[in-house]
Structure 1
Amino acid sequence: MKRILVPTDFSEQAENALKVAAQLAKKHDCEIYLLHILEIPLQEVDPISSYSSLPEAVFFMKLAHQKFEKLKDKKYLDGLIIHEIVDFHEIFKGIFQTCKKHHIDLIIMGSNGVSGLREMLIGSNTEKVVRTSETPVLVIKNEHKTFNVNDFVFASDFKDESKKTYEKALKFAKTLGAKIHLLMVITPAKFITTNDAQNRIENFANSFDFSNYTMNIYNDISIEKGIMNFSKTLNADLIGMSTHGRQGISHFFNGSISEDLVNHAKRPVITFKI
């Protein structure tokens, strides 16, 4: 892990993410890429000209630069290499292109989460990034004066398609020196016996050369609630899981547990795209 991307709108939530990024960067000798996206309506753009030539764009770029300079003066960023980027895209597209261009290893985002009708209709920028990002996304909800991950819950159905994402989770856990708690949540709608669940988790875990883990089966009314309730009993520092990156009508009907967790969990959540 050498390059961390922190998208920012200069809000308190975004700064909470930056504070976590700063702690990780100092511990693991990383560079931080601070990205601010200017979402200018396409209908205002002359096809012959570029975004950056618009008077509005010039004004907001200068304003963003001033905010960057103020932010980079924060004491918790002392001694770190900070790259400043202003771009013109939809947020999740801008993040995707920045990750590709700069070979980003981890995205850290702040989020309030949303609920109810607003969530169903428009979702959140963080949710869209979680759904589409090929790069692992760490979502921070609160300020963490000390961000240590000792207990890392990795929730899964432990099928073969999750092995690639678990490899990424293992790499992250090893970097942080965390213990992984493998978790399968059993619900009435997706019931399997305890014996079958144990065998599936054990066979999955034996595919990897990693011994600092526990195996856990938890019963609840939904997978999302089971993950949050188990993590609460453990007082876990981090929740991790795979995301399928569903789009459109498939996403509407099937939903995404990882996106629900990003919106509703109070603990940090990290997602790895299958």
Structure 2
Amino acid sequence: MVLPLQKKIDAEILFMHIIITPIVWAKLTPEQENLFLDKKSEINAVKANLKDLVERAQAMGISANKLLVYSNGAERINKYVESEKVDMVVMGSHGTYGFKEHMLGSNTYSMLRRTNVPVIVIKEGFEHSSIDTLVIATNFREETGKSFAQIENFTELLKAELKVLYVNTPDHFVETNDILKIGQSFLDEFAAYNHEINIVDAFREERGIIQFAKKTQADAVAVITFGKSDLLQYFSPSVTENLIAMIDIPVISLRKNTF
């Protein structure tokens, strides 16, 4: 999915791989590398894979580059995202069971909690090559307006349909007329186009998003997350992580006021 997506939005792509090494690999001589033949073989395989990815991208007319990072296990991808001035990150998740950090992968887990750039998480085995319908779940709070506009622009680049969703839960219950009034005011200020406001009642935000995504046969879901210090966490990082674990389609996570 990544290459067709990048081609559609005409973006440069950086293929990055972080590999755990027992020592500072970059300082080893060729002779010393031979003392760790298994790791050397793994590194060679990663290099070959990165080279293949770059060549496949370039064959599609996509500007591409690669970056292999040797790590002792403490390295975090957000450091390189900042240094390389990356605008968006695409990452994978491993499955649906186990602890969140294991299910997402430590780097994906870290990115969702720390980065200020949008993160697209794609479930292992997802095979669709395009996003034609994108659902954005929002609570229409003013501080999410810039992030909403970013998703709207992204949807326009994809030539996709954007569906606006409000999940009404018992903990944050709002009457329908009030939701529509608040939502329309939000869209008048931050949206470039007219959007229908869809409302789903559910016990939890994740359940409502999943139900609506299935009903509309959405290809991806976007959520705007709030930091831990926010007293009214409607979409906290943990909600996003739960959603990724429970849904099969890609999830786009954005931090509020990051653009």
Give the TM interval when normalised to the shorter protein: 0.7 to 0.9
Asked if structure 2 preserves the Cα contact closer than 8 Å seen for 1:51 and 1:88, the reply is: yes
Relative distance call for 1:155 and 1:145 in structure 2 (3 A) is closer
Structure 2 residue identity aligned to 1:25 = Q
2:44 aligned with 1:62 = yes
Relative distance call for 1:145 and 1:190 in structure 2 (3 A) is closer
Give deviations 1:101-140, integer Å, cap 9, x for gaps: 222122111223333xx32575522233222221111112
3-state SS of 1:37 partner: strand
Give 2:26's aligned residue: 52
2:3 aligned with 1:22 = yes
Asked if structure 2 preserves the Cα contact closer than 8 Å seen for 1:92 and 1:132, the reply is: no
CA distance in 2, matches of 1:38, 1:195: 52
Query: TM-score when scaled to structure 2?
Result: 0.80
Give 1:3's aligned residue: none
3-state SS of 2:223 partner: strand
For the aligned residue pairs, the C-alpha RMSD in angstroms reads: 2.9
3-state SS of 1:256 partner: helix
Asked if structure 1 preserves the Cα contact closer than 8 Å seen for 2:3 and 2:57, the reply is: no
Give 1:219's aligned residue: 201
- Sequence identity, in percent? 25
CA distance in 1, matches of 2:191, 2:167: 24
Give deviations 1:121-160, integer Å, cap 9, x for gaps: 75522233222221111112243353132x2211121112
Shift of 1:90: 7.5
CA distance in 2, matches of 1:36, 1:157: 35
Give 2:86's aligned residue: 104
CA distance in 1, matches of 2:161, 2:113: 26
Give 1:148's aligned residue: 131
2:215 aligned with 1:233 = yes
Relative distance call for 1:104 and 1:90 in structure 2 (3 A) is farther
2:176 aligned with 1:194 = yes
Asked if structure 2 preserves the Cα contact closer than 8 Å seen for 1:111 and 1:140, the reply is: yes
Relative distance call for 1:122 and 1:80 in structure 2 (3 A) is closer
Shift of 1:235: 0.9
Q: Of 82, 94, 99, which aligns to 1:119?
A: 99
Relative distance call for 1:71 and 1:38 in structure 2 (3 A) is same
3-state SS of 1:33 partner: strand
Give 2:254's aligned residue: 272
**Which is worse superposed, 168-177 or 72-81?**
72-81
Q: How many residues align?
A: 240
Shift of 1:229: 0.2
Shift of 1:67: 2.8
CA distance in 2, matches of 1:107, 1:152: 17
